[in-house]
């Protein structure tokens, strides 16, 4: 026997046989149809009514994220351009007839153009990330907004945080940036990541949310 019930925040299925105790409660996300943007606030109030999710104090990531994207793409662009240069030299040395039929500008400037193209894409990626990525720590909720063509909002109540992690990749270490990742064992919430913030802000954010989570009921026992 199964009983199904749903609300604005999700769906629960209670399974068990008649005459037997200890039914199991299974939860799953509630799939909603495509909604107009003005209905998003109504849906947020239904899913987490005890939190204010409509007025997050969004902040931008560090401007250094543009340099971080370029630094991360530099090695790949250099390897591709170097491989093209090596291939052109092999072609000229071992197949000069084929090399003569190729356009001269491709042999002379091809690797440079490819390198500049990769770096331009890295610059554009960093600019778009700084322009549209946002994060917030307000109203006892961590949230971020990511994406340009497709925008995604993610909300994680601090009461559900069980682990905070601060990491740095080589490019972030060079620029003094960090990434804070918040983990939750609650199946209803995704892990939330705040990327490319100053390392001091990342550490303060990790410590602050950890203290806030410690003042709330333990997420292991509050039923998520």
Which strands, in side-by-side order, build the sheet including 2-6? 2-6, 11-15, 24-28
Q: What is the pLDDT of residues 106-161, one digit of tens each?
A: 888 899 999 999 999 999 999 999 999 999 888 788 888 888 888 888 888 888 88
- In the beta sheet, which residues pair with residue 141? 138, 157
pTM of the full structure: 0.72
How many angstroms separate the CA atoms of 56 and 139, rounded?
Answer: 7
Confidence category of residue 192, pLDDT binned at 50, 70, 90 = confident
pLDDT tens sequence across 4-19: 444 444 444 444 444 4
Q: Where are the domains of the chain?
A: 65-129, 137-214
> Which residue shows structure tokens 């939330």?
192
CATH top class, domain 137-214: mainly beta
**22: region left, alpha or beta (phi > 0 left; psi from -120 to 50 alpha):** left
């Amino acid at each position: 026997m199964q009983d199904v019930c749903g609300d604005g925040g999700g769906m629960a299925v209670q399974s068990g046989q008649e005459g037997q105790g200890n039914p199991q409660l299974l939860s799953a996300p509630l799939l909603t149809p495509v909604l107009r943007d003005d209905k998003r606030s109504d849906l947020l109030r239904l899913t987490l009514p005890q939190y204010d999710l409509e007025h997050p104090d969004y902040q931008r990531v560090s401007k250094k994220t543009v340099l971080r994207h370029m630094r991360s793409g530099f090695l790949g662009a250099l390897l591709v351009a170097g491989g093209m240069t090596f291939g052109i030299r092999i072609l000229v040395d071992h197949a000069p007839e084929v090399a003569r039929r190729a356009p001269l500008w491709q042999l002379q400037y091809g690797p440079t153009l490819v390198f500049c193209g990769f770096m331009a894409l890295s610059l554009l990626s960093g600019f778009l990330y700084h322009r549209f990525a946002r994060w917030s720590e307000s109203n006892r909720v961590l949230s971020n907004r990511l994406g340009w063509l497709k925008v995604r909002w993610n909300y994680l109540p601090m009461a559900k945080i069980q682990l905070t992690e601060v990491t740095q990749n080589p490019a972030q270490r060079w620029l003094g940036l960090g990434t804070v990742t918040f983990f939750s064992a609650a199946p209803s919430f995704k892990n939330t990541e705040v990327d490319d913030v100053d390392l001091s802000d990342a550490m303060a954010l990790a410590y602050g949310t950890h203290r806030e989570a410690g003042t709330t009921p333990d997420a292991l026992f509050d039923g998520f």
